[in-house]
Amino acid sequence: MASGASIGQLLVVLSIQTIICHGAELALAGNVPTVLEDLSGLAGQEVSVPCSVDVATCGDFHSVKWYRESQRVFVYSELANLERSEGSLTNRARFVLSSNETQAGLKISSLQLSDEGLYRCEITYLEINEGCPVVQYVNLTVLAAPDYVEILLEDGKTSAAIRNVSRIGPFNEGTIVTLLCRSGGGRPVPRIEWWNGSHIMEADEVVATQEDNGAVTGINRLQIALSRQDLDAQWQCRVRSPALSSPLVANLRIDVHVKPTNVTLTGLDTAVTEGTAVVVYCVADGARPAAAITWYNDSSPLQKSAVETTQLQPEDEAEVVEQSDGTFSTRSRLIFTLNRHDHRRYITCRAGNTVTDDLQHKPVQASQLLRVEYAPTVAVSPENVTVNETMDVLIFCTYDANPVTLTSVQWFKDDVEIIINGPHKYEGATIDQPALLLKKATRDDAGAYSCRLTNAVGTGHSENVAFISVQYPAEVRLVMEPELPVNELERPNITLNCQVSSGYPPVLLGVRWYLDGELLKELPDCPLNETITSFSMYDEDLCDVDPSKLLLEYVGRSFQGNYSCEGMNAAGWGPPSEVETLVIYYPPGNTTLTYEPDVVVKDGPLTLTCGVSDVGQPAVTQYRWTRNGHVIPEISDAQWNVSQVTLNYQANYSCTPVNEAGEGETATIEIEVFAEPTFIERLPLTSGALSDAADATKLSCRAECYPLCQIDWFRNGIPIRESPMYTVVDSFVPENIKFNQHQSVKSSLSFNMRMWSQAKLDPIADTANYTCITTDNVVGDGVSSTTFFTVEYAPTTAIIDNPTIEVEEGSIVGQLECSASSYPLANYYWQHNHQIIGNGPRLTLDYGLSRDKTGEYSCIAHNQHGNTSAKAFINVVFKPECSITLREMEGKTRLICEVHANPKLVDFMWMLNNATLTTDIVHMGLQSVLTIDGPAPTSGIYYCHANNSVGFGTPCEISVEGGLLAKLGDENIIIIAIIAAAIVVILVVCIVLLVICRRQRTDDKSVSATGPSTKNGNDNLSENSKAFYENLPFHGLQTAPNKMNPLMSSTKSTSMNDPQLQQRAWTPRSLAPVHTSAYDPPKQQAQSHHAPSSRFPANTNHASYKQAGSTVYADLSISCTAELKPHQNEISPTEYAVLQFMNGGQEVQV
């Protein structure tokens, strides 16, 4: 650093000498004085290099030039209009002149370190004037503030910058740390210092290095050995420079780790009773990082589950004062329960951290002695003692306790305390001598002995027991394996076990086995001594065996009996056991199978019996029956009773007796079922054939019988033997078990019609009784079957009692009756206009006929062989009905009266008002024409009267306008017609509105039940309804007479609310179109009656309907109050029906 300063001073001196020499030259040349000045500036800022000019004294100047060292950097000439920066100052320098023109300057912007040097200003005046300085020197020094300050960690080889880190470490105490503080980018060389808080630290001198851009970098090195005094220390590197207003600083904290300073242990000041929970605290202070505490019981570490450790850090408010140096205080709590084994042991707390581990120092520790008081730990000895009865036994009771002084001694046998009353039975058992002496032991003294000792702390029971075994002879019981009973068929092995129920030792050394009180075997079967070998009677295989077990192999029924045993142990032979009976099961034997009766007849009884001579062990419980090899599960008794034998009982039978041991022998038998003669197919009670049936007539019967029988035929009791008129064919039919039919004979009797007269049957002569009779067989008598044979033919000669009828419209015809000859009897039905209108021989027309009922009525008689028919004609006559039309032809007015009548022979009469007209009238059949020449002379009403043999019909009329109307002409008449048409349209609209209103009211109308009406036809309608009815297109039809159905003439009018009538009412049929004339007879016969109303006659039924397109459908129920007899199939249509046309809202009574 000193050398650097010397170099700088040398450069300044040389520069000054150069300036002086150059100035001297100038001065010698021009005798011009020189000026020398020092100037400094900050890099990056602006600086003005001065140059004094004295215009007032020296006059104007031509130009000013600046040189840095020997290089020109700027030139200025106002006269030459020139201002230019050159070299390193290009574009960074400008000329300035003070306002009084005494001071010029070169202002340099963005000052750089390279701009430093000696600047020379040369002034060229327009006039040479001695005493005016023309050369001036300025020494410019550029100052630069350091760019940065950083701390580096030196590890001996390299240096790494610590950036953005406020703390380094951790370092263990004693570690030597070397740090470098570096600052650069400025000039001159900065001053670098290390500080610890408010104290400066000793460090090396600053080492400077020159940078390429002229800046200088300085480095200061600090090396220090860390100690506990450096805990939580904050170090700072400070950089000072003339270019800085305040120093640059870099802060750093050193994380120093130190080991614990001391350990304290508290909580074990006094003796502790065994089983007491103890809490011991261990605190380790002065460690960073926190110390880890380990507990030891003597030299064995304790489980972590017993240790609770907390770390007391400096941040805890309660510990701030005590741990201000940044170390940790670690407290560990040991919770454990002391036992007797901990007595006189040491509990130790050891504290260590990473510092002790890294430096391999021993952990800091503290120890304390444990003092434990505990109850006695007791043991008895010896643990096993075997004696015979009447011997003495001594049992010791040893213990370990703190304190060792006992307060009580107790002895137990099998956990029951022994009461020591005196020296007769027991001795000892005191606090000075806890051992127990048992005198003259008996079998009852055998058991487990233990002792209990007590001191000041508590009571201890012996951890073991002393078993005393007292030997005495064994008492035994006999057990058989497997469980009884056993099955002989399985050929089992039976093991007899002689088990000790009481006695000691329980091991049997010998056993004697008995069967029914006699010695069966003694085990083991060994020689009595070693000298008796070749001639002694013993079984070598039974010598080394368990004598308590005796094996019976392949047991059968002969092994049954009463078994017992007696055993010997070390104490001698004991008493014999209770007797056990060995039960052997075996199946039944000697099976037989019989049946009754000896001859089995179909539909008769049958009893099968299965017998056994040996019922087995246990006795037979059920029997298994089979039929043709198939098991019959529902039969399990010894007898199988059948109340009614069917054909499937003809089979092979077997029975097998069964008990718990298994199945006995099987017995089999074959049963044959007989059948007495019985008809399977009998002759019908009646039979017949057509007279011309050719050879199709045949009678047959079929009889079941076994053994087989034969069938003979008889006619009216006379045998039919070989006759050319008959053929008899017999055939054999095999049995059919499915239908329970035995073998049968079928016999057919055929009529050879070619042998009959005219090859036909006579209905009278050939009617007879035919009989088939069977012969007897060994199990029954023969049977017979008879049929009454008749000759059948189709109906012939049908006759109607009244073939031609003429009736006035509305009148009642009554009945038509039809009859025909046939067999079987014929059935009848009636047709009109190709529609069926009734069934049965009688057609009842008990209602007023309308004109459309005129026509031919056919009766068809039929049976299964054919049909025939007869016809009747009904002519319905009625009075003429007329209508008048007016026609204008050739200037004449013609009134044409047309009638519809039956008969069609009609007479006409014309009237004008009340006057009869006789001229200009022409009658042509059913027309009459009245001709008026020209227009009618007068206005009036023309009447047309028509009559035939039935009577006068209702006259028809037409109003004709004459006079003025006739003169109006055609055009006026057209106008009048248009007006009349408008009036008609208005009337139609009114009628439509009226119809709509009536439709809304008539939907919910019902027939009133006020009793029978005394009026007929339209008289039943109300006045409004009658007036409305007369405006309908049906007006003019004759009112239907109020005629009652003869079947209802004696019946009172009854409300349909009567439940009995509701039950007898007709069931409505499916809907049919009203316009069809088809007659659909009802499916059943019943009674229906509706209550009369003011609008409908009594006994009138109402129709239900629905509309489909333009066709109205109605269903008419039948009115009937008298029950019909079976042969009365004719049903008359209802007299009245109401059809409601919903589109028009009108009701029409037809």
Structure tokens, 585: 């099961």
Burial class (CB in 10 A: 0-12, 13-18, 19+), 153: middle
Cβ pair 156, 178 in contact under 8 A: yes
Residue 710 has pLDDT above 60, yes or no: yes
H/E stretch holding 572 reads strand 572-573
Following DSSP, what letter does each residue of 795-848 receive, concatenated? EEEEEES--EEEEETT-EEEEEEEEEEEESPPEEEEEETTEEEEESSEEEEEEE
Total length of the chain: 1150
H/E stretch holding 997 reads helix 969-1002
- The pLDDT, as a whole number, for residue 164 is 57
> In sequence order, which residues have a C-beta less than 8 Å from that of residue 999 and are 6 or more positions away?
1142, 1145
Strand partners, 448: 467
State residue 319 phi and psi, 5-degree precision.
-115, 10
State residue 849 phi and psi, 5-degree precision.
-80, 140
Cβ pair 220, 206 in contact under 8 A: yes
Mean pLDDT, residues 1065-1091 taken together: 35
What is the pLDDT confidence band of residue 35, given thresholds at 50, 70 and 90? low
What is the pLDDT confidence band of residue 697, given thresholds at 50, 70 and 90? confident
d(CA 730, CA 736): 18
Structure-token match 């011997």, residue found: 391
- Pair type for strands 61-68 and 364-369: unpaired
What is the pLDDT confidence band of residue 75, given thresholds at 50, 70 and 90? very high
d(CA 472, CA 702): 97
Each residue of 404-453: pLDDT tens digit? 899 999 999 999 999 887 767 888 888 889 999 998 888 888 899 999 99
Mean pLDDT, residues 181-196 taken together: 89
C-alpha dist (Å) from residue 1139 to 981, 992, 1079, 1144: 31, 19, 18, 12
- The pLDDT, as a whole number, for residue 340 is 85
What is the pLDDT confidence band of residue 500, given thresholds at 50, 70 and 90? very high
What is the pLDDT confidence band of residue 869, given thresholds at 50, 70 and 90? very high
Which range is least confidently modeled, 158-167, 647-656, 740-749, 1072-1081? 1072-1081
Structure-token match 């019976």, residue found: 552
> In sequence order, which residues have a C-beta less than 8 Å from that of residue 481 and are 6 or more positions away?
494, 495, 497
**CB-based burial, 280-291: b 16+ in 10 Å, e otherwise:** bebbbbbbbbbb
Residue 87 has pLDDT above 60, yes or no: yes
What is the pLDDT confidence band of residue 539, given thresholds at 50, 70 and 90? low
Q: Within 13 A of 52's CA, how many CA atoms are on the CB side?
A: 15
Query: How far is it between the farthest Cα atoms of the chain?
Result: 205
Q: Which of 702, 732, 782, 737 is nearest to 602 (CA)?
A: 737
- The pLDDT, as a whole number, for residue 1139 is 43
Following DSSP, what letter does each residue of 3-60 receive, concatenated? HHHHHHHHHHHHHHHHHHHHHHHHHHHH---EEEEEEEEETTS-EEEEEE--HHHH--
- The pLDDT, as a whole number, for residue 518 is 92
Each residue of 632-675: pLDDT tens digit? 999 999 999 999 999 989 999 999 999 988 999 999 999 999 99
Mean pLDDT, residues 755-779 taken together: 89
Long-range contacts of 622-629 (CB under 8 A, 24+ apart): 622/657, 622/658, 623/655, 623/656, 623/657, 623/658, 624/655, 624/656, 624/658, 624/663, 625/653, 625/654, 625/655, 626/653, 626/654, 626/655, 627/651, 627/652, 627/653, 628/652
Q: Coil, strand or helix: which one is 736? A: strand
Residue 619 has pLDDT above 70, yes or no: yes
Dihedral sign of CA atoms 537, 542, 544, 545 in order: negative
> In sequence order, which residues have a C-beta less than 8 Å from that of residue 640 and are 6 or more positions away?
607, 608, 610, 625, 632, 655
Mean pLDDT, residues 483-510 taken together: 90
**CB-based burial, 1028-1056: b 16+ in 10 Å, e otherwise:** bbeeeeeeeeeebebbbbebbeebebeee
H/E stretch holding 580 reads strand 580-582
Each residue of 216-263: pLDDT tens digit? 889 988 888 888 888 878 888 999 988 888 998 888 888 899 999 899
What is the pLDDT confidence band of residue 306, given thresholds at 50, 70 and 90? low
- The pLDDT, as a whole number, for residue 161 is 66
Which is higher by pLDDT, 29 or 917? Answer: 917
Each residue of 1007-1050: pLDDT tens digit? 333 333 333 333 443 444 444 434 443 334 333 333 333 333 33
> In sequence order, which residues have a C-beta less than 8 Å from that of residue 1056 and are 6 or more positions away?
1009, 1062, 1065, 1089, 1090, 1091
- The pLDDT, as a whole number, for residue 755 is 84
Mean pLDDT, residues 997-1007 taken together: 59
Strand partners, 666: none
Of 126-135, 209-218, 543-552, where does the model show the most confidence?
543-552
Residue 349 has pLDDT above 70, yes or no: yes
Q: Could you count the other beta carbons within 10 Å of the beta carbon of residue 942?
A: 21
d(CA 433, CA 453): 11
H/E stretch holding 308 reads strand 307-312
Query: Does residue 758 come out as left (phi exceeding 0), alpha (psi in the -120 to 50 range) or beta?
Result: left
- Strands across the sheet containing 1111-1116: 1072-1073, 1111-1116, 1103-1108
d(CA 453, CA 431): 8
d(CA 52, CA 61): 12
Which range is least confidently modeled, 519-528, 841-850, 951-960? 519-528
Dihedral sign of CA atoms 775, 779, 784, 785 in order: negative
Q: Which of 240, 204, 66, 194 is nearest to 137 (CA)?
A: 66
- Strands across the sheet containing 589-596: 589-596, 606-614, 639-642
- Report pTM: 0.37
State residue 1060 phi and psi, 5-degree precision.
-65, -40
H/E stretch holding 965 reads helix 964-967
Each residue of 353-377: pLDDT tens digit? 989 888 888 899 998 888 898 999 9
Which range is least confidently modeled, 228-237, 343-352, 788-797, 1114-1123? 1114-1123
Residue 1089 has pLDDT above 50, yes or no: no
Which percentage of the chain shows pLDDT scores above 70? 78
> In sequence order, which residues have a C-beta less than 8 Å from that of residue 1000 and are 6 or more positions away?
none
Distance of CA 996 to the CA centre of its chain: 60
Mean pLDDT, residues 306-328 taken together: 51
| Average pLDDT taken over every residue of the chain | 79
What is the end-to-end Cα distance of the chain in Å, rounded?
Answer: 151
Q: What share of the chain is helix, strand, coil (3-state, %, to 5)?
A: 10, 50, 40
- The pLDDT, as a whole number, for residue 969 is 54
- The pLDDT, as a whole number, for residue 99 is 84
What is the pLDDT confidence band of residue 972, given thresholds at 50, 70 and 90? low
